[in-house]
Structure 1
Amino acid sequence: MLKHLYIKNFTLIDELDISLYEGFSVITGETGAGKSIILGAIALLLGQRADSKTIKQGADKCIIEAHFDLSRYNLQPFFDENDIEYDADDCIIRRELTAAGKSRAFINDTPVALSMLKELGDQLMDVHSQHQNLLLNKQDFQLEVVDIIANDAAQLAKYQHTYVEYQKAEKELAEMMFAIERNRENRDFLHFQFEELENAHLQEGEQEELEQRSETMEHSEDIKSALYTTDNALSAEQVGVIESLRTSLSALRSIESVYPEVSELVERIDSSYIDLKDISQEISSLLESVDFDPAELDQVNNRLDRIYELEKKYHVDTVEELIAKRDELHLQLEAIENGDESLDALKARRHELETQARKEADTLTNLRAKAAKTIELEMQKRLVPLGMPHVRFSIQLNPIELGANGADKVSFLFSANTSTPLQPVSQVASGGEIARVMLSLKAMISGAVKLPTIIFDEIDTGVSGKTAEMMAQIMKEMGGHGRQVISITHLPQIAALGSVHYKVEKNETASGTTSKMRQLDDKERVREIAQMLSGSDISEAAIQNAKELLKTITN
């Protein structure tokens, strides 16, 4: 329930600081006084997008803040899920706008996204303006009304889960059928590519090994010459390094016993002699192995040319990528061969989900059909006292293909008299009749949804007299049981029935036009209703009529 509203620097409002109460309250004021401005501020609190032009001229910042009592409405899960401090007795929603175009939203002083503000606002307040009467044209609104009265949220959620899975299976099936058909058209080509790569007998690391072998063979003469020169320098008789070391080693050993100082040199030369003999043997072995074979070189280069050709053809750079391509083609060919089995399995799943979805949609239809009968009877009871003694209201449920909300198309049919056939309500009802239909629907829905606060913005358009009084009685009843109903009205019959009466006034000041709202006391209320009855000139007779109206209706 909305307990307190604070508005600062919003269009014509300098500052508004007012308390509100549960039950049925009314707001009156002349056309253009600023009632719509207050509703605009409340809309911002409910998550509507902001416009910096709404900031009062000359101000840098606009603030709109509301305090709510949530103690009866089980809203703590919303706060827990969004990690926001929960205060059931005083929930504070605030919106700030700056002249620079920045907008910030807060719930209990926690900054939140606009979408989160709207999510909470939808659970706190319903503002019914005149344009909302157009909802009667909307199929989804009519279906929502039926679903609310049917209390079928759990069944609808169950159906929607199955329907989503069914849609996924339908999509997967279509994609698989397309892929199989496309692959079958390309099967011969895919098979040719696979055979080409399979017959190439590719091996990992093969390319690098062949490239090295080709390089070695193409430079075999240079390699042999270098090896021969090195071998000759090491092991040639008399002039070879090894022979020279052997001679030096023999000479030093002959004096080692009498000249110990050469012992370490003997060891070092002996070690070098052994190493060089090993090196000489390895070079000799390499020299014998280097043998240029033109036929083998052609064979190696031919193999490399084949690899390069395949890499270019398949737009890859390595043998490993060619092998991966070969394996991918193999899997595609297997999928084509096994496609019918996979297709049959997916068709079976799609059929199973469709069957389940239709079954759950049928359950929804039955719940809605029962609710439709309840709504028809309830609307008849509510509309007859509102000046439509011969009214007929019917709900037509027509089957349609499975959709996001089931398999039902809902149509509200209406006739204000016995001589007119039932037709869609938006096509045949007058403005006043639509207002009464919407009020009756809202009254019925409010009992099921238990919204904390409902605001009606001139829902009394097109009605007067006893009908207006009956509409006021409905709103007063809606304001019972801890709920809060606020009606912006131009009709004295409705204004007189409010437990609390507020007036919106526009004043001309030295700094410009300002709009204010204040709570009226008993005397002020009599004068306001008298003015609504007689116009700007308030006569004593009008005063008496206002007192009688207040007395009659409140009793």
Structure 2
Amino acid sequence: MLTHLSIHNYALINQLSIDFTKGLSIITGETGAGKSILLGALGLVMGNRADLSSLKNTDKKCIIEAQFAVDGYALQSLFEKLDIDYEAETIIRREILPSGKSRAFVNDTPVNLSVLTALKSKLIDIHSQHQTMQLSDVAFQFSVIDALAKNKAKIDSYKRGLKKYNSLVRELKILQEETEKSNEQYEYNLHLFNEFEEAKLEDGEQEKLEEKLDKLNNIEDIKLNLSEALQISINDEIGLQNLLHSLENNLQKISSYAKNYEELSNRISSIKIELDDIVSELENANEEVDFNPNEIEELNDRLQLIYNLQKKHSVDSIKELLVIHESLSEKVAQVEGAGDLIEVKNAEIKQVAIKLDEVAAMITKSRNKAIPKLQKELEYLLSELGMPNARFSIELNPSENYLTNGKDNLLFLFSANKGGNFGELKKVASGGELSRIMLSIKKILSENIQLPTIIFDEIDTGVSGEVSNKIAKIMQDMGMNMQVITITHLPQIASKGTQHYKVYKGEEEGVTTSNLKQLSNEERIVEIAEMLSGKEISESALTHAKELLN
């Protein structure tokens, strides 16, 4: 509820600071005294857009600050979602600078206007004759019925299930679209995949084949050079082996005479061992060299297959071809297994739909049970408010589709006159009738759910006498469960408030200003007497005012 409001340099207000309490608070004042300014200030602090016309003194900034007791409203999750600190006593501040720019803060955290707008519906509910059109809004009508039906937990459960259902349906649609698209390319992809399967490519294979083919293409040159190398190494007269053997014998004979001779002998021995090993490998290599034209043809064919695949897929290596092979394998498998995946997804959707239908059925049952009670209470309250022939026809019809709050279509019709035809509220009800219907609905809601602070802006316009007493009684009853603030010009309503505030005009340094003050008991008597008889207050008006205040 709203606990404190301070306004600085706004419209006709220089400085104002006022406390509010629970129950029914009354605001009265002469026409033009500034009652609408208070609503404008509250609108600004709750996110309405502002301009320089909001500033009383355009050289100074305008500051509006409202404090709310939010404990018990279960707003912690909303504050967390909005990324602002939660405080049981939450302070919202709006500043409009002389430059025209504005700033907003929630518990000293800078926020944008969207945050204030999100908080607004949870903290303040302002009603005037111009704002009763929401009665014709189906979402609002459902909210009234569901409040009486105690459907909040069921609808929360339904919404969670609907979110999951919609997510699964989207996944199925994507899967079907991808499958359809994949099916169009399936035959071609399968052909490409089979080409790879038949090719049986191996990583590194191309380099080995190219090396082997190069060797076979130069077999004669290789054979000639290997033979000559062997002759140079093993010739009986001038072969390297014989020459090294003689050199080794010479050095071994003198190795014992000096350290350096021994080292040279050992080095020659090592060279001889290495040469013997090289000769052995040359002999093996020479024996292995064999010209085979069939093998050359096979190698050429294999390499040509690899080159063709590389050209076809615009790559340069077998490694890249293997990646494409794997991708084709997945695409082919996806199509071949898509039927199973779609079947599994459909089964999931069916299971969620069964549970969703069960919750929707419980919601419908609760609504059908609450509707007669709502009709009866509304018709009783409207009868008390001077509409004895008011009738409602509220019909709940099943929907084939999953709607945001269940599977029901709602038809909310009204007739104000005896024997009259039912019609849509906005078409058949007058502004005054809509105000009384809204008041009745809010009265019923206040007994069933926790409502934000309600401000009634002269919704009693056009009523008098006994009806005004009934309106006052309803507001007084609502004040037992919540904070109600009403701006009124009727003394019957003004007398029912727990506290009474007066908006009045004054003058400071030759400039008109608006002010607000809380009235004492004696001041209330005078204010209500003035509302009864005008500026010239009679004794009978004072007596009547005291009787109203009782």
1:290 shift after superposition: 5.8
Q: Which amino acid aligns with 1:210?
A: L
Q: For residues 271-291 of structure 1, what are the alpha-carbon distances to aligned partners after superposition, in whole Å with 9 as ceiling and x for unaligned?
A: 233234434544554566566
TM-score (norm 2): 0.84
Aligned position for 2:273: 274
Q: Which amino acid aligns with 2:394?
A: I
1:413 shift after superposition: 1.7
Provide the C-alpha distance between the structure 2 equivalents of 1:28 and 1:225, rounded to a whole number of angstroms.
Answer: 122
1:29-428 to 2 correspondences below 5 Å: 29-46=29-46, 48=47, 50-51=49-50, 53=52, 56=55, 58=58, 61-70=61-70, 88=88, 90-96=89-95, 98=97, 99=99, 101=101, 103-107=103-107, 109=108, 121-180=120-179, 183-184=182-183, 186-214=185-213, 245-282=244-281, 285-286=284-285, 289=288, 296-314=295-313, 318-330=317-329, 332-333=331-332, 336-337=335-336, 340-401=339-400, 402-428=402-428
* Residue 537 (structure 2) aligned to one of 536, 540, 551: 540
Q: Which amino acid aligns with 1:92?
A: I
Paired residues, what number? 547
- Between 37-46 and 406-415, the greater mean CA deviation after superposition: 37-46
Aligned position for 2:547: 552
Q: For residues 373-402 of structure 1, what are the alpha-carbon distances to aligned partners after superposition, in whole Å with 9 as ceiling and x for unaligned?
A: 111111112111111122112322122223
Q: For residues 39-69 of structure 1, what are the alpha-carbon distances to aligned partners after superposition, in whole Å with 9 as ceiling and x for unaligned?
A: 34334544x2654647635456544333333
Q: For residues 409-449 of structure 1, what are the alpha-carbon distances to aligned partners after superposition, in whole Å with 9 as ceiling and x for unaligned?
A: 22322111103112121210000000000111111112212
Query: Quick check: 2:103–2:110 contact (8 Å CA) kept in 1?
Result: no
Q: Which amino acid aligns with 2:547?
A: T
1:479 shift after superposition: 1.0
1:262 shift after superposition: 1.8
Query: Quick check: 1:50–1:97 contact (8 Å CA) kept in 2?
Result: no
User: How high is the sequence identity, in percent, across the aligned residues?
Assistant: 40
Q: Which amino acid aligns with 1:420?
A: G
TM-score (norm 1): 0.83
Q: Which amino acid aligns with 1:550?
A: A
Instruction: Identify if the C-alpha distance between structure 1 residues 338 and 462 changes in structure 2 by more than 3 Å, giving closer, same or farther.
Output: same
Aligned position for 2:28: 28
Query: Quick check: 1:392–1:414 contact (8 Å CA) kept in 2?
Result: yes
Query: Quick check: 1:9–1:59 contact (8 Å CA) kept in 2?
Result: no
Q: For residues 231-274 of structure 1, what are the alpha-carbon distances to aligned partners after superposition, in whole Å with 9 as ceiling and x for unaligned?
A: 77777777776665544433222222233442223223322332
Query: Quick check: 1:493–1:549 contact (8 Å CA) kept in 2?
Result: no
1:480 shift after superposition: 1.5
Aligned position for 1:477: 477
Q: Which amino acid aligns with 1:450?
A: Q
Provide the C-alpha distance between the structure 2 equivalents of 1:44 and 1:274, rounded to a whole number of angstroms.
Answer: 101
Query: Quick check: 1:431–1:462 contact (8 Å CA) kept in 2?
Result: no
Instruction: Identify if the C-alpha distance between structure 1 residues 287 and 388 changes in structure 2 by more than 3 Å, giving closer, same or farther.
Output: same
SS at structure 2 position matched to 1:144 = helix
Provide the C-alpha distance between the structure 2 equivalents of 1:511 and 1:297, rounded to a whole number of angstroms.
Answer: 113
Query: Quick check: 1:143–1:409 contact (8 Å CA) kept in 2?
Result: no
For structure 2, the residue ranges without an aligned partner over 5 or more in a row are none
Q: Which amino acid aligns with 1:8?
A: H
- Between 287-296 and 205-214, the greater mean CA deviation after superposition: 287-296
Instruction: Identify if the C-alpha distance between structure 1 residues 231 and 400 changes in structure 2 by more than 3 Å, giving closer, same or farther.
Output: same
Q: For residues 126-159 of structure 1, what are the alpha-carbon distances to aligned partners after superposition, in whole Å with 9 as ceiling and x for unaligned?
A: 2334443110121111111111111111222222
Provide the C-alpha distance between the structure 2 equivalents of 1:513 and 1:292, rounded to a whole number of angstroms.
Answer: 117
Q: For residues 91-142 of structure 1, what are the alpha-carbon distances to aligned partners after superposition, in whole Å with 9 as ceiling and x for unaligned?
A: 43444555474634223x4566766655555443323344431101211111
Aligned position for 1:433: 433
- Between 24-33 and 178-187, the greater mean CA deviation after superposition: 178-187
Q: Which amino acid aligns with 2:537?
A: E
1:76 shift after superposition: 6.3
